[in-house]
């Protein structure tokens, strides 16, 4: 059976393609933007990719067209599918019908940290010998691919609140019917499809209504936006986590290092420590949520902590691309003020803790690529999110509605706005010197900026 995926290079659809391939389907796909790491991963899996949405890609009449949520009416391939009466469905629907049936689904939801937490949980279950299936919205370093079917009943999935398709405006996670659910946080995002925070909370409440009584909801203690969701009604046991020993949460965390590189987890009379390569309090919270979810399927606290000590992370999540003549360059996916702040704060804490790190500068390079960011919804919180950086280079998109002059005026960091990638590279080459840490923040390809900068620094 042949399926063709429209929008295949999206993190979700690319992972779905890998699962279909493992099920024995002939898989092909097309996308407007084909770039690594997803394009590379798909090619390694033997999946044929086509650039653009030319109806000619569908001339051989696939048995099913799986349409990604980036494709809408007016798309040439979508119009061809409708005109020819070809069978089609959304990605979440296909996944629910062909992969998740009869599985114990562990879903990771929230505005931030879904990819990392999904990867952590999958890794914990793997180290515990449970051989889980998983679908991760990114490329994990500890697995060969971002998705696999797995050998046992457990399936871990990144549960996105974004809509399913142009013909199905429900959040993706509504299709998954999970038993164990992590709700790590909730803030306003996806302004292109949600008019306000309340609309997102409604979708989260729909998810809560689907979780069985023998399931479990795991969330941070006293998170006001999630509390508002739970006040609409819950029918499932809940487990709460928090950072700080003086709490009554089910899962408690003490930071043993300010940068989050070492921490202690307590649950009842049990306690265990984690020393690992990740930084930031946000990753500590991701970790304890993963530990609590793993406990729901029988993994001990010590087993989980031992697994996290060996955890390598996810590509494009503070991934070090190189140390070039003493200048360290990182790739990070952060594209929301909270994610930007927690990432930079974690790196700043690590630099402060390094006795040999005095004088090292933290330089942020940001492409505001998400629809919500470009539409200007985070205007009033961006300056505060950048306080840990010594210098900020902002790539000004032609279609951004952000008042960058106002952000620059409010920023404590040295704030430079440039309108081309070439200008950014030229400025960084002149500016950077040994001891600098350059963190590139974008949730897209950024016109190959990462690779071009590293190459320019070498020369």
Q: Is the distance from CB of 266 to CB of 304 less than 8 angstroms?
A: no
2-90: CATH, from 3.40.50.720, 2.60.15.10, 3.90.79.10, 1.10.1040.10: 3.40.50.720
Q: How many CB atoms lie within 10 A of CB 354?
A: 11
Question: CB-based contacts of 286: which residues, under 8 Å, 6+ apart?
Answer: 113, 116, 117, 120, 184
Does residue 113 sit in helix, strand or coil? coil
Q: pTM of the prediction?
A: 0.83
Q: What is the pLDDT of residue 395?
A: 85
Of residues 265, 262, 304, 301, the one with CA closest to residue 279: 262
CATH of domain 319-458: 3.90.190.20
Q: What is the CA radius of gyration of the chain?
A: 22
Tokens linked to 238: 């809940």
Classify residue 431 as exposed, middle or buried by CB count within 10 Å of its CB (0-12, 13-18, 19+): middle
CA separation for the pair 371, 374 (Å, rounded):
5
Of residues 199, 195, 223, 200, the one with CA closest to residue 377: 195
Does residue 278 sit in helix, strand or coil? coil
Residues for the chain: how many in total? 459
Of residues 92, 130, 119, the one with CA closest to residue 210: 92
Q: How many CB atoms lie within 10 A of CB 270?
A: 11
Question: CB-based contacts of 452: which residues, under 8 Å, 6+ apart?
Answer: 421, 425
CA separation for the pair 222, 249 (Å, rounded):
10
Q: What is the pLDDT of residue 246?
A: 65
Instruction: Kindly list the domain boundaries of the chain, sorted by start residue.
Output: 2-90, 100-309, 319-458
Q: What is the pLDDT of residue 356?
A: 59
In CATH, the architecture of 100-309 is 3-Layer(aba) Sandwich (3.40)
Q: What is the pLDDT of residue 197?
A: 92
CA separation for the pair 90, 88 (Å, rounded):
7
Mean pLDDT for each consecutive 10-residue tract of the chain (459 residues)? 94 92 95 77 88 94 96 97 97 97 96 93 98 92 91 94 95 97 90 88 97 97 93 96 80 91 94 92 93 98 97 83 88 80 84 71 85 68 83 81 76 81 88 89 79 85
Q: What is the pLDDT of residue 145?
A: 86
């Amino acid at each position: 059976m042949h399926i063709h995926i429209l929008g295949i290079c999206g993190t979700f659809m690319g992972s779905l393609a890998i699962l279909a391939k493992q099920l024995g389907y002939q898989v092909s796909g097309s996308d407007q933007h084909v770039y690594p790491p997803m394009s590379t991963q798909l090619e390694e899996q033997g999946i044929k990719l086509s650039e653009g949405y030319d109806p000619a890609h569908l001339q051989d009449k696939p048995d099913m067209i799986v349409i990604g949520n980036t494709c809408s009416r007016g798309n040439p391939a979508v119009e061809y599918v409708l005109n020819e009466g070809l069978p089609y469905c959304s990605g979440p629907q296909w996944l629910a019908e062909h992969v998740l049936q009869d599985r114990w689904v562990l879903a990771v939801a929230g505005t931030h940290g879904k990819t990392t937490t999904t990867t952590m949980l999958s890794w914990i279950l793997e180290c515990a010998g449970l051989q889980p299936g998983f679908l991760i919205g990114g490329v994990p370093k500890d697995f060969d691919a971002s998705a696999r079917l797995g050998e046992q009943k457990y399936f871990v999935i990144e549960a996105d609140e974004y809509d399913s398709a142009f013909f199905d405006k429900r959040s993706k996670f509504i299709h998954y019917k999970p038993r164990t659910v992590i709700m790590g946080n909730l803030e306003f995002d996806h302004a292109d499809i949600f008019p306000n925070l309340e609309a997102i909370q409604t979708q989260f409440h729909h998810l809560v209504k689907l979780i069985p009584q023998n399931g479990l909801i795991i969330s941070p203690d006293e998170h006001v936006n999630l509390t508002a969701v739970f006040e609409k009604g819950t029918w499932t046991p809940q487990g709460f986590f928090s950072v700080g020993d003086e709490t009554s949460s089910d899962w408690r965390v003490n930071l043993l290092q300010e940068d989050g590189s070492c921490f202690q987890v307590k649950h009842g009379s049990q306690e265990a420590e984690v020393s690992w390569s990740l930084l930031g309090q946000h990753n500590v919270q991701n970790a304890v949520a993963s530990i609590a979810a793993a406990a729901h399927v029988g993994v001990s606290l010590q087993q989980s902590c031992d697994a996290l000590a060996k955890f390598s992370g996810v590509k494009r999540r503070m991934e070090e691309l190189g140390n070039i003549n003493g200048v360290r360059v990182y790739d990070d996916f952060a594209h929301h003020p909270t994610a930007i702040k927690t990432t930079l704060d974690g790196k700043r804490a690590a630099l402060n803790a390094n006795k040999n790190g005095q004088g090292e500068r933290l330089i942020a390079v940001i492409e505001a690529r998400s629809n919500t960011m470009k539409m200007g919804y985070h205007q009033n919180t961006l300056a505060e999110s950048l306080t840990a950086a010594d210098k900020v280079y902002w790539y000004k998109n032609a279609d951004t509605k952000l008042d960058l002059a106002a952000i620059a005026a409010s920023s404590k960091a040295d704030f430079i706005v440039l309108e081309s990638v070439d200008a950014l590279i030229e400025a960084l080459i002149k500016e950077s010197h040994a001891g600098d840490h350059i963190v590139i923040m974008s949730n897209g390809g950024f016109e190959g900026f990462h690779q071009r900068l590293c190459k320019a620094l070498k020369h």
